[in-house]
Amino acid sequence: MQKKIALVTGAAGGIGAAVVETLAGQGITVAAVDRDGDLLDVLVKEAAERDEDVEAFVGDVTSSALVEELVGDVEERLGPIDFLVNAAGVLRLAEARALTDEEWSVTFAVNTTGVFFVSRAVVNRMVARRRGAIVTIASNSAGTARTEMSAYAASKAAATMFTKCLGLEVAKFGIRANIVAPGSTDTPMLTAMWTDQGSARASIEGVPEAYRVGIPLGKLARPTDVANAVAFLLSDKASHITMHDLTVDGGAALGV
């Protein structure tokens, strides 16, 4: 994995930051992409203290033109991109019939269209080199209905199938495309949903009135649990794996 270059979106927090740290810790040069320049600066500083190579690129995955410019800038500054991790994501909670136009649009703009824009820009460059690996961070909600998560679940389902179709199309170029689908993970996105001290317990034990089972392993995922799965799918150890959806949820989706 050393001397490779990875582009990670949504790099400034939660799972994205864990992916950056995990990949950089394996000797990969990481282009960390996020809208929050201040958090990126902290990420880069912490990486430098560990003698890891992480560079910040402030960008918005919802703009096709800006994405093309950003990917070109990454390759000009760092070199050809070997790995792409689509980790940028947003969550808007509401029952389906109460969702606003803006909440629906923003969710798909980041979680689905952003995956399309970045993947297209990177893969079009990978094709010429006939190598590369992509991982899209989706969610176990892409295949399991959740109350108040229709926009998020639908956007992640779309990103999942997009990544599988992409993987099918570019396999002939030696490029692999896989998905990691986390469940409840101890990140700011999850804790922002909590309303009281019992929320963490509810995530683990389940919420019958919301038709939500608990987590059989009895614990929340750590961001590093997800990041380790991403690193595996990018590595040569997964060289014969593509179009695969790897669920990392402690059994919350009951293996479905």
Q: Please identify every residue annotated as catalytic.
A: 152
Cα 125 from Cα 85, distance rounded (Å): 15
Query: Amino acid letter at 82?
Result: D
CA 101, distance to chain mean position in Å, is 24
Q: Are 111 and 155 in contact (CB under 8 A)?
A: yes
Cα 83 from Cα 63, distance rounded (Å): 21
Give the DSSP letter string of 157-174: HHHHHHHHHHHHHHGGGT
Cα 166 from Cα 15, distance rounded (Å): 23
Q: Is 145 exposed, middle or buried (CB count within 10 Å of its CB: 0-12, 13-18, 19+)?
A: exposed
Q: Are 50 and 27 in contact (CB under 8 A)?
A: no
Cα 146 from Cα 159, distance rounded (Å): 17
Q: Is 122 exposed, middle or buried (CB count within 10 Å of its CB: 0-12, 13-18, 19+)?
A: buried
